[in-house]
Amino acid sequence: MAGRLAVGLAILLLAAVLAATFYLNPLDFLHKTYNPSNPAKLSFEVKCPERLKAGGSGEIVLKVSNLGGSTAENVEVLVEGSVFKVEAPSFNINPGEVKEVKGKISVLDVDYGDYQARFRLKYACGGERYSQAVKKRIYVLPRVEVRDVGWKTDLFNLFGKSGVKRGDSTTLHFRVKSLSEKVIYGGIKAKISLELKPEGLTISPCEVEIERIGPKGLSSEYSVTVATSSETPPGQYPIRIQLYTADDVPVEGAEALVKLTVSPD
């Protein structure tokens, strides 16, 4: 008799819990009922950066839709391969629901170039399931920067000759530093350009190919000549040093800006 009473009480308690759950959120209660003949089916779109620096990270935004008839639970965002990593919160998504999910994608310390990122969703619905992959191209930039930028020194310009008269010239020098801990970079080049292009002001060479640089390496010193003519207007002229990959892609954050002052005769 006591056993039957205990079973009856347990059944009543379970019924009360289910009734309360249904009362508080009836739609969610019904959605979470797994339908073997119509399981969850997830599709999604991904927005991610087109370029990322090796060792860096950026935001990704996913638009996830459940096209099936059951709830997908514990949905995780995955990225395949050994180049990228993804961090995003897990979530549930009901039938017919569309959710926006934000996360972070990180790039490991790899060589620069164009890589494919393959995203998938892993979720639970009557077992472990996976969505179809969504592919994105991401260009990985090298971890390099411009260092030791300065003007040539002489007896009259101990801190560098950053000012010249018309018809005179000076020399600008710089190095390139690798911040990578694993990669040997090759094919990187520096382009030196004028923000303004007055008459008679020239830079030579305007492009320099940088030697191969090992992990944490510092390149040799590179020099360019900046010359004026008698026709160059007096004033201050910004000069930019910008690093590029061998594919002619500018490296974000790998630049330097200096100013040359041209004085009257």
pLDDT for residue 164 is more than 60? yes
Give me the torsion for CA of 84, 88, 91, 97, rounded to 10°: -80
pLDDT score at 30: 47
* Statement to judge: residues 50 and 125 lie in one domain: yes
CA distance linking residue 31 with residue 12, whole number of Å: 23
pLDDT for residue 69 is more than 90? yes
Distances (CA, A) of 235 to 24, 152, 158, 162: 74, 20, 22, 12
- Exposed/middle/buried for 213, CB within 10 Å: 0-12, 13-18, 19+? buried
pLDDT score at 132: 96
* Statement to judge: residues 111 and 148 lie in one domain: no
User: Which of 113, 141, 169 is the C-terminal boundary of a domain?
Assistant: 141
The H or E element that residue 235 is part of is strand 235-244
CA distance linking residue 203 with residue 93, whole number of Å: 60
Confidence of residue 3 (pLDDT cuts 50, 70, 90): low
* Statement to judge: residues 103 and 39 lie in one domain: yes
Provide the CATH number for the domain around residue 45: 2.60.40.10
pLDDT score at 162: 86
* Statement to judge: residues 87 and 148 lie in one domain: no
Residue 9 belongs to some domain of the structure: no
Residue 11 belongs to some domain of the structure: no
pLDDT score at 151: 93
* Statement to judge: residues 127 and 172 lie in one domain: no
pLDDT for residue 4 is more than 80? no
Cβ neighbours for 97, distance < 8 A, ≥ 6 positions apart: 65, 66
pTM: 0.81
CA distance linking residue 39 with residue 125, whole number of Å: 7
Residue 11 or 203, more confident: 203
The string of pLDDT tens digits covering residues 73-132 is: 999 999 998 999 999 999 999 999 999 999 999 999 999 999 999 999 999 999 999 999
The string of pLDDT tens digits covering residues 26-54 is: 444 444 556 777 999 999 999 999 999 99
CA distance linking residue 120 with residue 228, whole number of Å: 58
Confidence of residue 9 (pLDDT cuts 50, 70, 90): low
pLDDT score at 35: 72
Residue 241 belongs to some domain of the structure: yes
Range of the domain at 152: 144-263
> What residues pair up with 94 in beta bridges, in sequence order?
none
User: Which of 141, 157, 180 is the C-terminal boundary of a domain?
Assistant: 141
* Statement to judge: residues 135 and 161 lie in one domain: no
* Statement to judge: residues 192 and 236 lie in one domain: yes
Show the tokens assigned to 144.
């390099």
Residue 48 belongs to some domain of the structure: yes
Residue 87 belongs to some domain of the structure: yes
User: Which of 86, 114, 141 is the C-terminal boundary of a domain?
Assistant: 141
Domain count, the chain: 2
The string of pLDDT tens digits covering residues 200-218 is: 999 999 999 999 999 999 9
* Statement to judge: residues 165 and 110 lie in one domain: no
pLDDT score at 181: 96
Residue 101 belongs to some domain of the structure: yes
Find how far residue 73's CA is from the centre of its chain: 29
